[in-house]
Structure 1
Amino acid sequence: MVRDLLRPVPLGIYFLSFAVGVVGALVLPTFSVFLAKELGVRPLLVGIPYTGLALASIGYNQLVGHWSDKLNDRRPLVAGFCLVGLLSCAIFALTREYWLVVLSAVGLFSLGMVAHSQMLAYSLDYAERQLPVARIPLFNAIVRAQIAIAWVAGPPAGFLLASYYGFSIMYWVAGGLFALVGLTSLKLLPRLAPSSTNSEPAAGESAAEGETQAPVLDAQARRSLFFCLVAFSLMWCVNNAYLISLPLHLDNNLGIGTEWVGWIMGTAALLEVPVMLAAGVMGARINLMVMVRLAGIAGFVLYAGVLLSDQLWHLFALQIFNAIFIGVLAGLGVSVIQALLPGRSGSASALYTNSTHVGNLLSSVQVALVADFFGYQSVFVVSIVIVLLAMVAFTGVRIKR
């Protein structure tokens, strides 16, 4: 089974997923520090770009995800969006005007990161057309593991580049990775054969006879999808609030240098890789919702632990729970949406990605308001409550095996 998943076509998917993941791992953890320290803005203004990023990403992903399902080839979309991402990183590197940075983040960087969701949609297309159904969760987990591997090196590299060479160099490196993915995607991702849902009817056939319609969702499936998206959004909310707040919490409240944040996040990402792979294997044998609820418990322990921790080693130890939380959520989350939306790869990818963007939107409001009035440590108190709400929402999800 593993040998089948390492054939030449998946290797291109794995490498490019890794490269796109490195871009996010360089830019996203350091962006709050860039705004607070380099641009010198207050917590409320730190939250504004994250709010705009989330709103723009939701719109972009939903429109592009729906439109891309009608296309036979997603590769030009990946290349084009990467070039837009390169432009946004160039602006970050060259300007220190707050509102220009905000406009670039909202209008350009969010569009550039649509390349990530299109890479995910491409991998779903490949899995549905080339792999047995039982192997799809493991394949999805391996693809997501590339992003976890990227986060092993990305945050430490981002904080080290920013600390020793400046944010401009860090953003030029991120832009170079965008360019690499954009220029090599057409070469490393072979064109897939059209799916039955996109194929033209044969001569003499009606459209209804020549197309395979995606299954219509019944009321229970729609309800499960709704609760699932709500729960995922809440879980991604607390994760993004953690990424935004942890560097400033360590610096402002614990007196720990921000360069340690990169190592903390890299440790979590390193631990996430085996968790993702194990989740992918177990996802074919155990109900997916059991695994996802386990992730929620780990998230609760993580944020309660961060709230109570006052030593650096405590934070490193807590990354075991962070790895379980993100490893299962990221490794199996798209498989849960795919199970609820069979035959709709682009829509499933867009909805899953948009759950992360809705979470980012909620987290930006959470951080901006809570940190501005009560401090960054209080953000983790709210995160504990939000995780509990997500666990309640998951009780309304039912997946047909």
Structure 2
Amino acid sequence: MSSPLFKPLALGIYALFFTVGLVGALVLPTFSLFLATEIQVRPLMVGGAFAGLALASIAYNHWIGHWSDRLADRRPLVAFFCLLGSISCVIFALSRNYWLVAFTAIFLLSLSMVSFSQIMAYSLDYAEAEIPTERIPLFNAIMRAQIAFAWVAGPPMGFLLATNLGFDVSYGVAAVLYILVALASFKLLPRLPAKQKQLAESGEKPFLAPLAPSVKQSLWICAIGFSLLWGVNNAYLISLPIHLKDNLRLDAQWMGWVMGTTAALEVPFMLLAGHYASRFRLISLVRCAGIAALLLYIGVYFANQLWHLFVLQICNAIFIGVLAGLGVSVIQDLMPGRSGAASGLYTNTTHIGNLLSSLMVGVVADYFGYHQVFLANILLVFVAIWAFGKVKTSRELAVGN
């Protein structure tokens, strides 16, 4: 247990990631079904709510991420954002007014999601200070594996609660869990390293040389590629529950078991990706994740039996396992010493992807049906794989200069 990967500090990070992931896994997967069936709005309005949620998350995450780097302790922020998440879930449980629900999701639930990037910033600071460089991708993979563990139980629990007891009970349970996470953050979230505390107390900021144009170019391409891949994943999560119910005539609660299967399968792929990251180019592994995504969406497009979807979760597990396990390591490699900015940029690629995919789902599903969303996903994954082929690592950029 002397390894920095398993010190009490690291274990606290893992535990908090799991608890935050569990609450998110209860709330987000059922939200499209909540809007479509409980409030009964058309697909364009479902997409609009998700788009607003993503857009607000991008703005909050960018501003708060830069501002929070000047704070000595981020834990009060994490707790406050979780309390806002609890308030959001209470409103979801009590209201069936679309505009109130959409307003709450856009302006309150989106703020609660900033807690994720704040915890990630802690983890990157710890990794840079305590973990050998070649082991950082494995640490990041273990950290993100906690989210996968949470999603093994979260979606099935959320869909079971929603379909059997109602959305008011489902979101009521989530509200209570948000409060518990807010309280636990002070116990589980590690303190900042002593050096960072001194910098915060003195008001001094470490000098960081401006990023070279070639690095910025690779970061822009990475941002585009990650946004597309997270976007197609979000489009899949929004569309599949309704596709199961309307097109395949299956009970929507099966979506929870499908998601849980993916989460269970993706953990070993996530850890393997972290282990082999020191032997292969990170970008090459990410492109392999894109190929797995292609196979997934082609399979889902043609699947007409429930067991087909369960088999395809192997591809989904490879896709998400590698993407979630190594994505932040790719950004961190290009931005050493900038933990807050790196975590903020990477987290924002998920929000940008969510925004684009929400708009795409709203338009495609409204005019052509939810089934055709998977065809659009296939085209976008091709673009992402091509984009990552243009990215150069920090080592390659250093050799080039």
TM-score w.r.t. length of structure 1: 0.95
State the AA in 1 paired with 2:165.
Y
Relative distance call for 1:312 and 1:2 in structure 2 (3 A) is farther
Among 226, 246, 249, the residue aligned to 1:232: 226
SS at match of 1:199: helix
2:384 matched to 1:397? no
Deviations 1:87-110 (A, max 9, x none): 111111111111000000000000
SS at match of 2:394: coil
For 1:272 and 1:169, how far apart are their aligned partners in 2?
29
* Structure 2 residue aligned with 1:79: 79
The answer to whether the Cα contact below 8 Å between 1:196 and 1:211 also exists between their aligned partners in 2 is no
SS at match of 2:266: helix
Relative distance call for 1:225 and 1:25 in structure 2 (3 A) is same
Relative distance call for 1:377 and 1:200 in structure 2 (3 A) is closer
For 1:197 and 1:166, how far apart are their aligned partners in 2?
46
2:280 matched to 1:295? no
Relative distance call for 1:108 and 1:114 in structure 2 (3 A) is same
Relative distance call for 1:22 and 1:211 in structure 2 (3 A) is closer
For 1:96 and 1:385, how far apart are their aligned partners in 2?
36
Shift of 1:219: 1.4
The answer to whether the Cα contact below 8 Å between 1:89 and 1:172 also exists between their aligned partners in 2 is yes
2:133 matched to 1:133? yes
* Structure 1 residue aligned with 2:155: 155
* Structure 1 residue aligned with 2:119: 119
Relative distance call for 1:200 and 1:73 in structure 2 (3 A) is closer
Shift of 1:200: 7.0
2:261 matched to 1:267? yes
Shift of 1:197: 10
The answer to whether the Cα contact below 8 Å between 2:72 and 2:197 also exists between their aligned partners in 1 is no
Shift of 1:38: 0.4
Shift of 1:199: 1.7
The answer to whether the Cα contact below 8 Å between 1:27 and 1:158 also exists between their aligned partners in 2 is yes
The answer to whether the Cα contact below 8 Å between 2:140 and 2:328 also exists between their aligned partners in 1 is yes
* Structure 1 residue aligned with 2:186: 186
State the AA in 2 paired with 1:35.
L
* Structure 2 residue aligned with 1:107: 107
2:325 matched to 1:355? no
The answer to whether the Cα contact below 8 Å between 2:71 and 2:200 also exists between their aligned partners in 1 is no
* Structure 2 residue aligned with 1:54: 54
For 2:362 and 2:46, how far apart are their aligned partners in 1?
7
The answer to whether the Cα contact below 8 Å between 2:266 and 2:318 also exists between their aligned partners in 1 is yes
Deviations 1:231-282 (A, max 9, x none): 0000011000000000111111111111111111100000011111111111
RMSD of Structure 2 on Structure 1 (CA): 1.7
Shift of 1:73: 1.5
* Structure 1 residue aligned with 2:146: 146
State the AA in 1 paired with 2:107.
G
Shift of 1:139: 0.8
SS at match of 2:243: helix
Among 306, 309, 313, the residue aligned to 1:312: 306
Gaps of 5+ in 1: none
The answer to whether the Cα contact below 8 Å between 1:197 and 1:211 also exists between their aligned partners in 2 is no
For 1:194 and 1:234, how far apart are their aligned partners in 2?
38
State the AA in 2 paired with 1:392.
W
* Structure 1 residue aligned with 2:37: 37
For 1:378 and 1:95, how far apart are their aligned partners in 2?
31
The answer to whether the Cα contact below 8 Å between 1:72 and 1:194 also exists between their aligned partners in 2 is no
The answer to whether the Cα contact below 8 Å between 1:33 and 1:247 also exists between their aligned partners in 2 is yes
Deviations 1:197-248 (A, max 9, x none): 972799xxxx9xx864224211111100000000000001100000000011
For 2:172 and 2:206, how far apart are their aligned partners in 1?
45
* Structure 1 residue aligned with 2:399: none
SS at match of 2:122: helix
For 2:124 and 2:92, how far apart are their aligned partners in 1?
32
SS at match of 1:115: helix
2:346 matched to 1:330? no
Among 337, 340, 349, the residue aligned to 1:346: 340
SS at match of 2:51: helix
Relative distance call for 1:73 and 1:323 in structure 2 (3 A) is same
Among 194, 209, 221, the residue aligned to 2:215: 221
The answer to whether the Cα contact below 8 Å between 1:71 and 1:198 also exists between their aligned partners in 2 is no
The number of residues matched between the two structures is 395
Structure 1 stretch displaced more, 67-76 or 366-375: 67-76
Deviations 1:115-174 (A, max 9, x none): 111111111111112222122111111110000111111110000000111111111111
Relative distance call for 1:80 and 1:304 in structure 2 (3 A) is same
For 2:232 and 2:27, how far apart are their aligned partners in 1?
18
Deviations 1:66-85 (A, max 9, x none): 11122222111111111111
